[in-house]
């Protein structure tokens, strides 16, 4: 029997509601498919920062590193500086564990209408592959003389050949399992050094995949195409900043950011990968029991797929689809179901499928 150690970081806000719902789904999947999951909870996040002055203890990364994967909710509270969560937790983990692929799929689930009134399930099915360790989010900047009339601020993006190549190879390999199309979303007509180099390296990598179609699209056109023609996209390969924006738009055209799952992936499995919903901690609705857990459950499915438990991952996705198709929806989707209701329905749909097979 395969066995996996999973670090569970609820984080803050609704993380304490959506992550436990996903854990119950994972427990069901493990029992059904014959593997074991050992969960360890870690209280890292903004609430931890308020008590201890940091988002995790000095040995926090070492403790997380001992696990097969990390299931994460979201970090951030309204009374904590919003520049700190990324710096002291999210980026810290992504960088330390070389999670250089941010994998953010978008698809329209049955029973849910997209805000795009003429688009259906066949039109919305793509994956945003966001370079996750370099680019615009490396925090390589400085503020000088902020109170002076001549105050200035800088933020320098960093793009390396090695960093671009490795994420590009991942995107092209992924495209081979889908519809064999990669769209490089860039802005090299104005960022004529950094993103021209990005384009060049991606083009060179693309030559090694003659069976995959490579297209280039500027970010402004890509944003418009997500709304007007989402069906043209299969695998989108883009930078840290652009990927952050596009994947939220992907969640929106699915019907809610609460539906979006993601993975921060170290493809070589030298370090644990971290799986999280694309939305934030939403402290304004925390404790009300109304948060949508589907993005977190989808993230859990991505985690199982990454660990090699592909049948269990597919089973979870079928159960999500059965749940949405039956009309069980949280308030963000215009329904009245509570977080617990949705989680329980997904587990029940997995059990029904199991009963049907046996």
Residues 15, 167: Cα–Cα separation, whole Å: 29
- For 109, 114, 223, 232, the CA distances from 124, given in Å and listed in that order, are 9, 9, 14, 9
Q: What's the predicted TM-score (pTM) here? A: 0.94
Contact 200, 169 (CB under 8 A): no
Query: Residue 341 is inside which H or E element, if any?
Result: helix 339-357
Contact 333, 292 (CB under 8 A): yes
Burial of 207 (0-12, 13-18, 19+ CB in 10 A): exposed
Closest by CA to 297, choosing from 325, 277, 311, 282, is 277
CATH 3.40.718.10 is right for the domain spanning 1-105+256-358: yes
> Would you call 44 helix, strand, or coil by DSSP?
coil
Q: What is the pLDDT of residues 66-86, one digit of tens each?
A: 999 999 999 999 999 999 999
Q: What is the pLDDT of residues 166-211, one digit of tens each?
A: 999 999 999 999 999 999 999 999 999 999 999 999 999 999 999 9
Domain 114-254, CATH: 3.40.718.10
Q: What is the pLDDT along the chain (358 residues), one digit of tens a residue?
A: 899 999 999 999 999 999 999 999 999 999 999 999 999 999 999 999 999 999 999 999 999 999 999 999 999 999 999 999 999 999 999 999 999 999 999 999 999 999 999 999 999 999 999 999 999 989 889 999 999 999 999 999 999 999 999 999 999 999 999 999 999 999 999 999 999 999 999 999 999 999 999 999 999 999 999 999 999 999 999 999 999 999 999 999 999 999 999 999 999 999 999 999 999 999 999 999 999 999 999 999 999 999 999 999 999 999 999 999 999 999 999 999 999 999 999 999 998 865 544 4
Residue 220 β-bridge partners: none
Contacts of 316 (CB under 8 A, 6+ apart): 25, 29, 297, 298, 300, 301, 304, 346, 350
The DSSP secondary-structure symbol of 116 reads: S
Q: Where in the chain do CATH 3.40.718.10 domains reside?
A: 1-105+256-358, 114-254
């Amino acid at each position: 029997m395969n066995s996996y150690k999973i670090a569970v970081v609820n984080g803050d806000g609704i993380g304490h509601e959506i992550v436990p719902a996903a854990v119950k789904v994972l427990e069901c999947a493990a029992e059904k498919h014959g593997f074991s999951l050992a969960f360890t909870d870690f209280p890292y996040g903004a609430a931890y920062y308020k008590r201890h002055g940091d988002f995790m203890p000095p040995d926090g990364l070492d403790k997380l590193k001992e696990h097969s994967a990390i299931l994460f909710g979201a970090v951030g509270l309204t009374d904590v500086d919003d520049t700190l969560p990324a710096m002291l937790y999210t980026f810290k983990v992504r960088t330390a564990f070389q999670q250089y692929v941010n994998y953010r799929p978008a698809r329209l689930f049955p029973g849910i209408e997209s805000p795009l009134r003429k688009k259906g399930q066949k039109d919305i099915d793509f994956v945003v592959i966001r370079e996750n360790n370099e680019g615009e989010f490396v925090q390589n900047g400085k503020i000088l003389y902020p109170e002076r009339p001549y105050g200035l601020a800088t933020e320098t993006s960093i793009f390396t050949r090695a960093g671009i190549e490795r994420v590009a190879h991942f995107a092209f390999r992924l495209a081979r399992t889908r519809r064999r199309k990669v769209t490089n979303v860039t802005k090299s007509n104005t960022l004529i050094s950094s993103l021209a180099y990005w384009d060049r390296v991606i083009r060179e990598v693309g030559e090694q995949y003659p069976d995959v179609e490579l297209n280039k699209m500027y970010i402004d056109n890509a944003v418009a195409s997500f709304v007007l023609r989402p069906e043209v996209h299969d695998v989108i390969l883009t930078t840290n900043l652009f990927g952050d924006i596009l994947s939220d738009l992907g969640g929106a055209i699915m019907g809610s950011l609460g539906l979006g799952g993601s993975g921060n992936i170290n493809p070589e499995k030298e370090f644990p990968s971290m799986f999280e919903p694309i939305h934030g901690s939403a402290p304004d609705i925390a404790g009300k029991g109304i948060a949508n857990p589907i993005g977190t459950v989808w993230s859990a499915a991505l985690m199982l797929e990454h660990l090699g438990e592909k049948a269990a991952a597919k089973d979870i996705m079928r159960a999500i689809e059965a749940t949405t198709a039956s009309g069980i929806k949280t308030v963000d989707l215009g329904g009245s179901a509570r977080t617990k209701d949705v989680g329980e329905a997904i587990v029940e749909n997995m059990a029904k499928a199991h009963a049907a097979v046996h």
